[in-house]
């Protein structure tokens, strides 16, 4: 190959997906590409998406993003997990933390030892054997000191896009303001040749990235990729996001509090709190949702919540012809486990690794699509689990999700855990064994049996091992500062 055949990359849309893609591409492959991003201030962005998972931390590291500068610019706080409240039962609470549970062996994961100890009456709560869990519960946080924690961020979505935009433009990404009026395709191949703006400007490219949000202007409206609907498994389809004034120090975790037709989030930033009520419009009207939200909100709202409608599902193909969909244009599971920005970052990483310098071919597209499908399906199952494995039957919504037929892939996982306490992470799965175990147990799926390896130890040995783990973690957490104290110190505020 004398010269790369794909050089001109055109990104349609400047939400989180557009700017993450633009910055990732220019940061890693800048000298090889001409990158243009088109966005329309008139249309705007979805403007939510404030909770992330540890991929954000890793991605930023790969991209050379300065953590302190990014956190200061986006009012970010640290996140150690999610507190699920009222999910399996009204009044229940468990934390899905980003940490590792105890210490397993090659023969059996830690929870098998813990289940044996619990059966014998001397196990503490499983979260007591996890540093991130205990730190989150105590609202503590530290990095760079004795204990290293696995963490993510809560961030302000709008300044996040602006921050990435500044970095991307400084490295040569060209931003064009304007509304895309039409998508022009090659008559024979159907490949996209150019995007025409309302101003009449025509922007040509070799590879197009559709980051136009739910509308999927290129991937769906033009290339008809198709959409696989998952709303029969994930019936929540509406959200009322609103910001409130902070009422206390920011907690290092997201709260996900279930209600009779969905749940609400609470995401603490440095200067305010992001909130949102997610609900199923088939089970709750907008008026009822607004009334419920008003009674549950802590802190003064900074504006009237605006309604967002969404649909759970995925684009049947994220890469069609010479167009790749990223972000909401490629699908949306629902925000419960904060996985959308993760999916954007993983897809950008994959694109960087598989960049079609030699031209787009069916093989590279198929491989990309195969990986994208498997990832989002794994996430879908994990999220359905939170709804389906519940003892709640206090409303039509909970009775529906509790008794609905779930995907076979999830059915099999739940049965395996119920019968044998086995949990696993397949090669394409985002969520580790520790995540599955925390949520399976948190949703009250009780294993009938588990690996019996712990019986090869004496009671004293097992008790001693668990006790040492628990007290070492407790000591490390005790030495940590409160998150609200650490944060300004770390950021030099």
**Annotation: binding site for FAD:** 14-17, 328, 337, 341
Among 77, 275, 338, 438, binds ligand FAD (CB under 6 A): 338
- Region of 23-31, 227-235, 323-331, 446-454 interacting with ligand FAD (CB under 6 A): 323-331
Least Cβ distance, residue 163 to ligand FAD (angstroms): 14
User: Using the rule CB under 6 A, is 276 a contact of ligand FAD?
Assistant: yes
CB of 355 to ligand FAD, least distance (A): 20
**x-or-dash string of contact with ligand FAD, 141-160, rule CB under 6 A:** ----------------x---
- Which residue lies nearer to ligand FAD by CB, 263 or 450? 263
Task: Determine the 3-state secondary structure of 433 from DSSP.
Answer: helix
- Which helix H or strand E contains 385, and what residues bound it? helix 362-388
Q: Is 205 in the site for ligand FAD (CB under 6 A)?
A: no
Tell me if residue 411 is catalytic. no
Q: Which of 7, 61, 79, 174 is catalytic?
A: 79
Least separation, in Å, of the C-beta of 51 and ligand FAD?
4
Q: Is 460 exposed, middle or buried (0-12, 13-18, 19+ CB in 10 A)?
A: exposed
Torsion angle of C-alpha atoms 461, 462, 465, 467, degrees rounded to 10: -110
DSSP character for 220? T
Q: How far is the CB of 457 from ligand FAD (least distance, A)?
A: 42
Task: Say whether residue 168 binds ligand FAD (CB under 6 A).
Answer: no
**340 binding ligand FAD? (CB under 6 A):** yes
Site string for ligand FAD, 58-97 (x = CB under 6 A): ----------------------------------------
DSSP letters for 56-118: HHHHHHHTT--HHHHHHHTT-EEE-EEEEESSSSTT-EEEEESS--S---SSS-HHHHHHHHH
Q: Is 173 in the site for ligand FAD (CB under 6 A)?
A: no
Minimum CB–partner distance for residue 201 and ligand FAD (Å): 12
* Residue choice 143, 308, 364, 491 for contact with ligand FAD (CB under 6 A): 308
Residue 180 burial by Cβ neighbours in a 10 Å radius (0-12, 13-18, 19+): buried
- Could you give the CA distance from residue 97 to residue 383 in angstroms, rounded to a whole number? 15
* DSSP SS3 for 278: strand
Tell me phi and psi for residue 93, to 5 degrees: -150, 135
Residues touching ligand FAD, count (CB under 6 A): 38
> What's the burial of 6, exposed, middle or buried (CB within 10 Å: 0-12/13-18/19+)?
middle
Cα(140)–Cα(123) distance, integer angstroms: 23
Q: Residue 222 interacts with ligand FAD (CB under 6 A)?
A: no
Report the alpha-carbon distance of residue 249 to residue 479 in Å, rounded. 19
Is 236 near ligand FAD (CB under 6 A)?
no
Residue 70's Cβ-count burial label (10 Å; 0-12, 13-18, 19+) is buried
Letter string b/e over residues 262-283, b meaning 16 or more CB atoms within 10 A of that residue's CB: bbbbbbbbbebbbbbbbbbbeb
Answer yes or no whether residue 212 interacts with ligand FAD by CB under 6 A: yes
Q: What is the number of alpha carbons within 13 Å of residue 173 lying toward its C-beta?
A: 30
Mark the segment that binds ligand FAD (CB under 6 A) among 312-320, 333-341, 354-362, 427-435.
333-341
User: Quick check: 17 binds ligand FAD (CB under 6 A)?
Assistant: yes
Q: Which of residues 174-193 bind ligand FAD (CB under 6 A)?
A: 179-180
Which are the catalytic amino acids? Answer: 79
Instruction: Give the binding site for ligand FAD (CB under 6 A).
Output: 13-18, 38-40, 43-46, 48-52, 157, 179-180, 211-213, 215, 217, 239, 241, 276, 308, 310, 327-329, 335, 338, 340-341
């Amino acid at each position: 190959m004398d010269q790369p055949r794909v050089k001109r990359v055109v990104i349609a849309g400047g939400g989180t997906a557009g700017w993450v893609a633009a910055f990732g591409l220019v940061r890693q492959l800048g000298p090889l590409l001409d990158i243009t991003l088109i966005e329309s201030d008139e249309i705007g962005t979805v403007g939510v998406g404030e909770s992330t998972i540890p991929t954000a931390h890793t991605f930023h590291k790969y991209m050379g993003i300065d953590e302190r500068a990014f956190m200061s610019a986006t009012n970010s706080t640290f996140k150690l997990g999610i507190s699920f409240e009222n999910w399996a039962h009204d009044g229940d609470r468990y934390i899905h933390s980003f940490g590792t549970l105890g210490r397993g062996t090659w023969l059996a994961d830690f929870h098998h030892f813990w289940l044996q100890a619990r059966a014998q009456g001397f196990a503490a709560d499983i979260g007591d054997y996890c540093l991130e869990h205990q730190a989150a519960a105590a609202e503590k946080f530290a990095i760079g000191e004795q204990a290293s924690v696995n963490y993510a961020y809560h961030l302000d979505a709008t300044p996040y896009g602006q921050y990435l935009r500044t970095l991307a433009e400084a490295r040569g990404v060209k931003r064009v303001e304007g509304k895309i009026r039409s998508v022009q395709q090659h008559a024979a191949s159907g490949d996209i040749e150019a995007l025409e703006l309302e101003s009449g400007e025509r922007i040509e490219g070799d590879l197009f990235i559709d980051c136009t949000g739910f509308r999927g202007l290129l991937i769906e409206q033009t290339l008809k990729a198709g959409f696989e609907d998952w709303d029969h498994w994930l019936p929540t389809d509406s959200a009322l996001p609103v910001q409130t004034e902070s009422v206390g120090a920011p907690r290092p975790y997201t709260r996900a509090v279930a209600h009779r037709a969905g749940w609400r989030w609470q995401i603490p930033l440095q200067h305010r709190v992001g909130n949102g009520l997610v609900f199923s419009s088939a089970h709750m009207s907008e008026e009822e949702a607004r009334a419920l939200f008003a009674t549950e909100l802590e802190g003064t709202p900074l504006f009237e919540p605006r309604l967002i409608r969404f649909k759970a599902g995925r684009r049947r193909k994220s890469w069609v012809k010479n167009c790749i969909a990223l972000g909401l244009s490629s699908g949306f599971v629902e925000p419960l486990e904060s996985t959308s920005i993760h999916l954007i970052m993983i897809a950008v990483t994959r694109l960087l690794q598989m960049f079609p310098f030699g031209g787009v071919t069916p093989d590279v597209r198929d491989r990309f699509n195969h990986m994208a499908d498997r990832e989002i399906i794994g996430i879908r199952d994990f999220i359905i689990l939170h709804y389906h494995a519940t003892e709640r039957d206090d409303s039509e919504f909970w009775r529906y999700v509790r008794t609905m037929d779930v995907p076979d892939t999830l059915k099999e996982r739940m049965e395996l855990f119920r019968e044998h306490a086995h949990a696993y992470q397949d090669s394409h799965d985002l969520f580790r064994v520790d995540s599955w175990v925390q949520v399976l147990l948190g949703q009250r799926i009780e294993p009938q049996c588990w690996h019996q390896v712990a019986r090869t130890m004496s009671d004293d040995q097992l008790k001693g091992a668990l006790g040492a783990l628990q007290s070492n973690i407790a000591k490390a957490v005790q030495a940590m500062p409160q998150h609200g104290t650490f944060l300004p110190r770390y950021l030099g505020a």
